[in-house]
Amino acid sequence: QKEVEQNSGPLSVPEGAIASLNCTYSDRGSQSFFWYRQYSGKSPELIMSIYSNGDKEDGRFTAQLNKASQYVSLLIRDSQPSDSATYLCAVKTNDYKLSFGAGTTVTVRA
């Protein structure tokens, strides 16, 4: 079993809709969780971090964490064409290492 798994996608949503991305992780002791956005041909950039159960909102992005279910999600509200990218879920393991999921590619249709 991979340490971090994401829904495979690709995910296509109309402009203005909500995009929902899911991620599960295997290490129950994980404490820190991150979402990175990666445009084609570019490097990943950090867009959200979450450390405690519940929701965390930042603009149109909401991260949700449920440690009991070992589940973290990202919602993108009012999706825009500029949100078209691959979204990577990352989980902090021991030391300062991150384990990444394979990513979910989102396409927002104008």
Partner 1 sequence: DAGITQSPRYKITETGRQVTLMCHQTWSHSYMFWYRQDLGHGLRLIYYSAAADITDKGEVPDGYVVSRSKTENFPLTLESATRSQTSVYFCASSESRQWYGYTFGSGTRLTVV
- Using the rule CB under 8 A, which residue among 12, 18, 39, 45 binds partner 1? 45
The reply to whether 92 sits near partner 1 by the rule CB under 8 A is: yes
Sign of CA dihedral 99, 100, 102, 104: positive
Measured CA to CA, the distance from residue 69 to residue 71 in angstroms comes to 5
Q: Name the nearest CA neighbour of 90 among 79, 81, 101, 74.
A: 101
The binding track of 21-40 with respect to partner 1, each residue x by CB under 8 A or -, is -----------x-x------
Residues 65-84 that bind partner 1 (CB under 8 A): none
Tell me the closest approach of the beta carbon of residue 101 to partner 1, in angstroms.
Answer: 6
Yes or no: say if 75 and 20 are a contact pair by the CB < 8 Å rule. yes
The CB-of-33 to partner 1 minimum distance in angstroms stands at 10
Entry field: residues in the chain? 110
Stretch that binds partner 1, among 15-23, 41-49, 52-60, 70-78 (CB under 8 A): 41-49
Q: Which two tokens stand for residue 44?
A: 């990943």
